[in-house]
Structure 1
Amino acid sequence: MTDKEIILTKQGLKKVEDELDELKTVKRKEVAEKIKQALAFGDISENSEYDEAKNEQAQVEERIAKLEMILRKARVVDESEISKDVVSIGSTVKVVDLEFDEEVEYTIVGSAEADPYELKISNESPVGKALIGGKVGEIVEVQIPDGVTKYKILEIKIQ
């Protein structure tokens, strides 16, 4: 793994901490119980319940390790440093896609926190990179596979 710092908003940090807590306190116990029940069936050489529970245990432990690594490398964005004048990590930006005349509101976050379904885009994504540093009224160009698309920044808010 790289030693690159991982940028998180306060909400992103809380989400990681909550998931880690859930995995350690609840999920580990559930998986241990499944393994215990599967062992009660006897011969583990042909015990699919045991194999399934061990695979689930491996996935839980892998996710715990990943979340712990994120927390070790995390830098939380200081909300007092977020400006309403310039797009930065932690900003929520309302833009209009000039090609399709559609308004959309993105929250710019670090890559570990990105979730396109929640319109949280990474500062490292093409749209995120283009918006960072932009101001209300500016038009930014984003290189996409089909060419270039343009967004006009309508509003900048803090989450």
Structure 2
Amino acid sequence: MSDARSPEFAPAISKFLSSLPGNERKAAQQALYHFARWFGLNHRLDALTPPEIANYVERLSQSDADYSSKLEQVRAFLVYAKKEGWRRDNLSVHLRTKKVKARAVSSGAHARRKEITVSREGYQGILAELEALKCRQLEVIDEIRRAAADKDFRENAPLEAAREEHGRITGRIRELEEALKLARVVEGNSGAGKKADVGSTLRLKSLDSGEEMVCTIVGPREVDPARGRISSSSPVGKALMGHERGDTIEVVTPGGRHRYQVIGLEA
């Protein structure tokens, strides 16, 4: 559902937030930037697909007790995107909450602190991003201080922009620090008989078309389809876990059943 005018997430969200009353903007900001970071701030709205939306809802419902209210903020943004002509379809219809999962998450703190599986590379990536954000946070605090020196707060765009950025950075820092607390680093195994796990790179051959593909199994926070990095909790990731070179697997996706053979494995 592409549109030539469709912007990237960052400017689209900024425009949407500017359309909200001040008392609503702060509440929407954190939810929307969390949504955008999931796909990438430079990701174009016209590239977003319904399955990606559904996957986001599922992951959020498993990790956030307050996910329903966050989805309402995302829903309002997607409706706005349709009205602005950035999308020809209304992606908000795919934000279906799951009541059973919502009750499970809200039943106790243990559900909100579910262990996160990450590769060694992914763990180092979190550390690097956290360090960069903390440095940027100090810079933004200085920008706020300098912008606040202008006593006319009514039309102080630099001050408002710096405050919004500080809010985004602070929220992201909290997310990353929580992720580090919950992270379980999977190093992978080696030698004959090694099995696919988080961090493994596999070469697969489709038994339907004969085509070959390479993918790496990663934790949900490290997914990057453009680089062949698939989530360990996705249908393909789940099907691959624990298999060895030479094994044949069957994957059930919304598009049907697919059969693959593992012809290469680097754990």
| TM-score for the superposition, normalised by structure 1 | 0.89
Where does structure 1 differ by over 4 angstroms across 4 or more consecutive aligned residues? 80-84
How far is 1:6 from its partner? 0.6
User: How much has 1:79 moved relative to structure 2?
Assistant: 3.6
1:92 to 179, 193, 201: 201
In structure 2, the residue matched to 1:67 is: 176
Separation in structure 1 between the aligned mates of residue 156 and residue 220 of structure 2, nearest angstrom: 40
Structure 2: state its 5+ residue gaps.
1-63, 65-111
Instruction: Tell which deviates more after alignment, 95-104 or 51-60.
Output: 95-104
Contact 1:86 1:134 in 2 (8 A): yes
Answering whether residue 165 of structure 2 is matched by residue 56 of structure 1, we say: yes
Alignment of 1:36 onto 2:136: no
Q: Check if 1:3 corresponds to 2:113.
A: yes
Query: Equivalent residue for 2:254?
Result: 145
Deviation at 1:42, TM superposition (A): 2.4
On the 8 A contact 2:217/2:231 being kept in 1, the answer is yes
RCO higher in 1 or 2 (8 Å CA, sep ≥ 6)? 1
Give the aligned length.
157
The two structures, once aligned, show a CA RMSD in angstroms of: 1.9
- Counterpart among 118, 121, 127 of residue 236 in structure 2: 127
* Structure with the higher fraction of residues in strand conformation: 1
CA contact (8 A) 1:82 1:91 kept: no
Q: 1:44 to 1:131 in 2, by over 3 A?
A: same
1:117 maps to which residue? 226
**What letter is aligned with 2:126?**
V
Measured in 2, the distance between the counterparts of 1:34 and 1:82 equals 53
Structure 1, 75-84 or 6-15: larger mean CA deviation: 75-84
Q: Among residues 13, 20, 27, which one is paired with 2:130 in the alignment?
A: 20
Larger mean Cα displacement after TM superposition, 37-46 or 135-144: 37-46
Q: For the structure 1 residues 123 and 10, does the alpha-carbon distance in structure 2 shift closer, same or farther, using more than 3 Å as the test?
A: same
- State the distance in 1 between where 2:207 and 2:163 align: 51
2:216 to 76, 88, 107: 107
Mapped to 2, the partners of 1:98 and 1:28 lie a distance apart of 50
- 3-state SS of the aligned residue for 1:137? coil
Q: Is the 8 A contact 1:84 1:157 kept in 2?
A: no
Cα distance in structure 2, aligned partners of 1:142 and 1:130: 6
**Structure 1 residues 112, 84: closer, same or farther in 2, change over 3 A?**
farther
Q: TM-score with structure 2 length normalisation?
A: 0.55
Question: Could you tell me which amino acid in structure 1 is paired with residue 175 of structure 2?
Answer: K
Shift in Å, 1:123: 0.8
Code of the residue aligned with 1:45 in structure 2: it is R
Query: Secondary structure, in 3 states, of the residue corresponding to 1:134?
Result: coil
Distance change (3 Å), C-alpha of 1:117 and 1:60: same
CA distance in 1: counterparts of 2:233 and 2:261, whole angstroms:
19
Give unpaired runs (5+ residues) of structure 1. Answer: none
- Cα deviation for residue 99 of structure 1 reads 3.1
| Percentage of identical aligned residues | 36
